Every structure is written in structure tokens, then in C-alpha cells.
Amino acid sequence: MKQEILNRFLKYVQIDTQSDEHSKTYPSTKKQFDLANLLVKELEEIGIQDAAVDKNGYVTATLPSNIEKEIPVIGFLAHMDTAPDMSGTKVRPQIFENYNGEDIVINKDLNVHLLIKEFPELKEYKGQTLITASGNTLLGADDKAGIAEIMIALEYLTTNPEIKHGTIKVAFTPDEEIGKGVDHFNVKKFGADYAYTLDGGPIGELEYENFNAAGIAIQIQGRNIHPGYAKGRMINAILVASELNDMLPIEQRPELTEHYEGFFHIIKFFGTVETSEIHYIIRDHDIEKFEYRKTLIKNAVEFINKKYDREIAKYKLEDQYYNMREKVEPVFHIVEQAKQAMIELGITPDIKPIRGGTDGARLSYMGLPCPNLFTGGHNYHGKHEFISLESMEKAVHVILKIIEKSVKS
């Protein structure tokens, strides 16, 4: 099975599917159809008759039940796009078989290394097969590893029809990396009772909690006066924006937080004396703390306006997604099912909150409860990305074990 996983994965990562956060189209880049069309062809080759890709780039397929009793329909999803953070063009995978547990030279000329002192988790993979890119692109395991794992699991079921299973739905989505992955996804048409995204990291990860998320853009209108005659007249919009930023708790920045700690994260700042603009993302797992954070930053804007006795600061605040825990807990057996599947396979479940969001979070609020499973990768979105082939194989077995357990439950 490992060779089959490797073959599919290597094929997928060499197809450029980088999404574009500035695009006005959906999907954001046409090249995502290159992978989508290939996946439809491969699904048909393994015997999935209804495989299709729609105008929005969604690949969907169904493996019909081969049992008489009715059981819940399970879905498995992964996303096709790679992050805008780093190039996904001309990805050249490198394979390190029987990894020796020492530093890895990804690209000597570009001085790109995986150093044990910086990535101590490497020691856990001694003797395994590791895959990296070549130093000037990301690898794309996020989330082409998830795609490969789902495809291999489906192929295993179609070539072993004696294995009993209920109806299985699969979907491969575009634009997850830019937060638009399920903008046009039809949950009702998909037809699953619950699902799992294969979009996690190291082996054992199982996630059903994520941040509540909002974004706020604040515009500040200053007053530019010749500096020689500015006393009592000038309002420097740059300094006002800095003043507002200083009103937020210093210790609640992403670089100083972990686990369940939320944050305010400044992501853009630009302007002149006359006008400036400052953008933040706001994150917290706890909905009450999340609402408090939004109130705190709105109060800072109001304070600025009162101080200068005019409305020099305006904001636009939008919620982006919410913690899926609220929607998953009523059907918590789907988390327990995945947890027990891992335990039976000798994998230690690592249940922890996602310090971010997934398609699964939005799907959960669209009526499809959707925890997240590991794919086996590390250091996503950058040149130090790597994945273990053995972890990918384990992910396939977890998919199959979940399906097996669903029949017995």
C-alpha cells in the first residue's frame, strides 16, 4: 500500500494548485481544475461511477453501500489548493528512505536544512521514509496528502468488495487556504450525515475544536498640516493608529499565546499623516471571550474618537467562522469513533484544539458535523515542510477503520 500512496502523492504535489486570495473568481485559480479533472478520471478508473467536478471546482463521488441495513452516510473531504504563502510551481519532491535521524539537507545551495535542534520531532521518524520539496517551493502535503489517503482508501474498498461498508461520500474542494473552500458547497446535495476532513498534521491528531474568528479593518482620518505650523492643528494618522494598537493587551499577541489562549493579530498597517489603515484578526476558542475581544477593540476606536472629539476612526468588523465544538458535541460519537479507530491501530490520539480554522468548521455550521484527522505532515506552507510515508499509510488505515466501526456500531 505504501508504494501506491507514494505514487499518488508524488503525482498530485507536482500539479500547481495554488489559490489566490486577491482573485474575484471561484475557484480563485483555474489551475485547480487540473487536479480536479485528474481526480475525476482516477475515481472513474477505480469504479466510482458518479464522480464529477462542477463549475465551482468541487469534486464529488459516492461509493454505494454494500450492506442491507441502513447506517449513517460518512463523508471524507480534503482540499486541492495550496497556500499562497509560498510557490507551488514546479514542486520537485525528494524522498529520504530509511531516514537516519540526523539533520536533513533539503537544498545546500539555498541553505535550506531540517535541523534537529530546530525540529526535534524529526527524531521520531528515524527509519521511516520522509518526503520534502527541494527548497524553493512548499511540498503541498497540505492537503494533497489528505487527497492521496482518501483515494487509496477508496481504491482499497473497490478492489476488496468483500469488505462491508455503508455509503461513503467524498469531496475534494478548492480555495480552503484562502478561507473560501466551502462558499458554494451544497451540504444537502452531498448527502452525508457526518464527515471528516483529512487536513491535520502529525500522526494522531484529532481535532473538533477551532477558533472563533473575526477580522476588523480600521480607517483613521488625520489632518495633515505643514510641520512648521502644525502645533495644535495636525492629527498624525500614523501616530493615532499606533496609539490605538498600544491600547490592546501586549501579552495577547499570537507570538505570546498557545493552546486555548486567544489573540489580537495585526496583519496590515499602512498610511500617511493624512490617512492610515490598520487590520487585525481576532481569535478565541471561548465564545464569550471572543465577544469580549471584539468589544475591547471597538471600545478602543470609540475612545480615540472621544479623545479627538471627532470621528476620526471608523471600523468594519466581520465574523469569519466559529468554533465547531458547539456543533460536534451533540454527535460526539463521531469523535469517539475516530479516537477508538486510532487506538485499535496502535496510534495514540492527540486531541487538541486547532489554533486556526478548517473547512470542517464551516461545514459543521452548515449542517455537516466534521472533525479533522491527521494526514502526517509537518511545517505546512513553507520550504521546511515534510511528511512521513508511514504516517500517511496509518491515515489510510484510520479511514478504513472508521468505516469498519460504523458498520458494527
The answer to whether the bond into 309 is cis (omega within 30° of 0) is no
Statement: the pTM of the whole predicted model exceeds 0.85:
yes
On whether both 106 and 226 belong to a single domain, the answer is no
What mean pLDDT do residues 322-338 have?
A: 96
Q: Average the pLDDT over 177-188 and give the result.
A: 94
201, 226: one domain: no
Judge contact between 279 and 298, C-beta under 8 A. Answer: no
* Cα–Cα dist 390/364, whole Å: 30
Contact, 121 vs 49, CB < 8 A?
no
User: What percent of the chain has a predicted confidence (pLDDT) above 90?
Assistant: 96
Domains identified in the chain, total number: 2
Q: Are residues 90 and 223 in the same domain?
A: no
Residues 337 and 192 reside in one and the same domain: yes
Q: Which residues contact 401 (CB under 8 A, 6 or more apart)?
A: 341, 342, 344, 345
- Do 344 and 100 contact (CB within 8 A), yes or no? no
- Residues 266 and 329 reside in one and the same domain: no
Distance of alpha carbon 338 from alpha carbon 198, whole angstroms: 12
Answer yes or no: is pLDDT of 244 > 80. Answer: yes
Q: Check: CB of residue 34 under 8 Å from CB of residue 57.
A: no
Domain boundary among 297, 321, 345: 321
- Helix/strand number for the chain, H first, E second: 10, 18
Q: Of these residues, 142, 149, 176, 207, which one is catalytic?
A: 176
The grid cell for 247 is 491600547
The answer to whether residues 56 and 121 belong to one domain is yes
List the CATH number of the domain containing 362. Answer: 3.40.630.10
Residues 205 and 263 both lie in one domain: no
Could you tell me if 82 and 198 lie in one domain? yes
Q: Which of 276, 215, 283, 274 lies closest to 243 in space, CA to CA? A: 276
Residues 67 and 73 sit within 8 Å (Cβ to Cβ): no
311: annotated active-site residue: no
Would you tell me how many other CB atoms lie within 10 Å of the CB of residue 200? Answer: 28
Per DSSP (E only), the strands in 151-211 are: 168-173, 194-198, 205-207
For residues 64 and 184, state if they share a domain. yes
* b/e per residue 60-99 (b: at least 16 CB within 10 A): bbbbebeeeeeeebbbbbbbbbbbbebebeebebbebeeb
Do 331 and 316 share a structural domain? no
Peptide bond preceding 27: is omega within 30 degrees of 0, i.e. cis?
A: yes
Active-site entry in 81, 149, 199, 284: 81
* Per-residue pLDDT reduced to its tens digit, 41-70: 999 999 998 999 999 999 999 999 999 999
Query: Distance between CA 300 and CA 244 in Å, rounded?
Result: 6
Q: How far is residue 402 CA from its own chain's centroid? A: 22
Task: Read off φ and ψ for residue 220, nearest 5 degrees.
Answer: -120, 125
Residue 213 burial (C-beta neighbours within 10 Å; 0-12, 13-18, 19+): buried
Q: Give the residue from 294, 321, 348 where a domain finishes.
A: 321
Residue 371 and residue 359: Cα distance in Å, rounded? Answer: 10
**52 and 142 inside one domain:** yes
- Going by C-alpha positions, the residue among 68, 365, 381, 338 that lies closest to residue 210 is 365
The domain that holds 312 is classified in CATH as 3.30.70.360
Check whether residue 67 and residue 163 sit in a common domain.
yes
pLDDT tens digits, one per residue of 371-406:
999 999 999 999 999 999 999 999 999 999 999 999
What pLDDT digit, counting tens, does each position of 267-300 carry? 999 999 999 999 999 999 999 999 999 999 999 9
Q: Examine the residue annotation and report whether 155 is marked as an active-site residue of this protein.
A: no
Q: For residue 205, which of 351, 362, 63, 359 has the smallest C-alpha distance?
A: 351
Q: pLDDT tens across 83-101, in order?
A: 998 999 999 999 999 999 9
Parent domain of 204: 2-209+323-408
